[in-house]
Amino acid sequence: MTTPELTHPIAPPALPGVAGSVLDLIGSTPMVRLNALAADLAAQVVVKLEGRNPGGSAKDRPALQMIRTAEAAGELLPGATIVESTSGNTGIGLALVGRLTGHPVVIVHGAGMSREKLALLALYGAELVEADWDAGPDDPANPRAVADRIAAERPHAWRSGQYDNAANPAAHFTHTGPEVWAQTGGRVTHLVASIGTGGTITGTGRFLKQVSGGHVRVVGANPAGSTYGGEQAGPIGIEGVGTRWPTSHWPSIFDPAVPDEIRSVPDEVAFATTRRLAAEEALLLGPSSGLAVAVALDVARDLPAEAVVVVMAPDGGANYLSALAPGMEEDAGWR
């Protein structure tokens, strides 16, 4: 008796409703209109749910694009290690895509990263290295410096460099922007996005401006304490967004010419909006989504009924439940 062949030496036939791998599930995220929160507005406010990506955030897109681009350019060799410093979602995207493309992944993270995200990185098989997130750009303990050092020590290791890698905004220019245009039937008038590396706002905003002949207005959502809004640096209470560094150290892939304006929001307002999204729209989103929605509601306030304000929601809320509802277990009497 012959042993049955368990692997597929040739690609199996495609099945109409079945993705070939999790990589094929990246992108094509849904959009939903806000109802209760926008009840007193004439304009429509619609949210793009990037948390529906398989790694749970918008960052799956740049992770895939950065890896594929580097492989094609011969910068990332088969089986070579990927090293990144990240506050979370990019690491998860890289760990997920790295696993499926055969690359080990090292993630340099700060002490403040949520335990849920760290656990997820470990489950995807990433190696975790903690660095001092408050160390300045010229300090060797700085996360980017630590990641550079690890990459230099490991043969063929590749720094994905999300802050300087053109494939980051390119993922959003090539995919996110066209999706928004198609899903709104070309009726989008405003785009609101928070700014971390600036990849989302630069790529999506640039595409929408080009395709609309400059008619789409792009608005950045900035947490108070971040210098993207032009104010003094201070504490930032929202993961993944804002910067405390001066303009000279802003990510090179962020094009400040793309946003027409940047509005700042205090952390409490961003968190309160995130809680309202869950309570009134049944939309469980992360705090940076609440930040962007708070700005979008403000932008939409004076707009006419034809206006369509698209808000990017970078991730879902499951990873932030303890921050969104502290003490909930006791209050609800679960035990």
Catalytic residues: 59
Handedness of CA 227, 229, 231, 233 (dihedral sign): negative
Determine which residue in the list 177, 240, 242, 317 makes contact with ligand PLP, applying CB under 6 A.
240
Stretch that binds ligand PLP, among 66-74, 105-113, 217-225, 236-244 (CB under 6 A): 236-244
Closest distance between ligand PLP and the C-beta of residue 90, in Å?
A: 6
Nearest Cα neighbor of 278 from 47, 103, 112 is 47
Determine which residue in the list 101, 142, 194, 222 makes contact with ligand PLP, applying CB under 6 A.
194
Please give the residues from 271 up to 300 whose contact with ligand PLP meets the rule CB under 6 A.
286, 288
Please give the residues from 54 up to 113 whose contact with ligand PLP meets the rule CB under 6 A.
57, 59, 88-90
Should residue 29 be labelled a site residue for ligand PLP when binding is judged by CB under 6 A?
no
Closest distance between ligand PLP and the C-beta of residue 20, in Å?
A: 26
Handedness of CA 222, 228, 233, 239 (dihedral sign): positive
Determine which residue in the list 56, 91, 199, 259 makes contact with ligand PLP, applying CB under 6 A.
199
Closest distance between ligand PLP and the C-beta of residue 169, in Å?
A: 8
Residue 71 CB partners (closer than 8 Å, separation 6+)? 78, 101
Contact flags string 106-145 toward ligand PLP, x per CB under 6 A: ----------------------------------------
Closest distance between ligand PLP and the C-beta of residue 5, in Å?
A: 42
Inter-residue contact 230 to 254 (CB < 8 Å): no
Inter-residue contact 168 to 162 (CB < 8 Å): yes
Closest distance between ligand PLP and the C-beta of residue 11, in Å?
A: 33
Nearer to ligand PLP, 164 or 306 (CB): 164
Residues near ligand PLP, by CB under 6 A: 57, 59, 88-90, 194-200, 239-241, 286, 288, 314-315
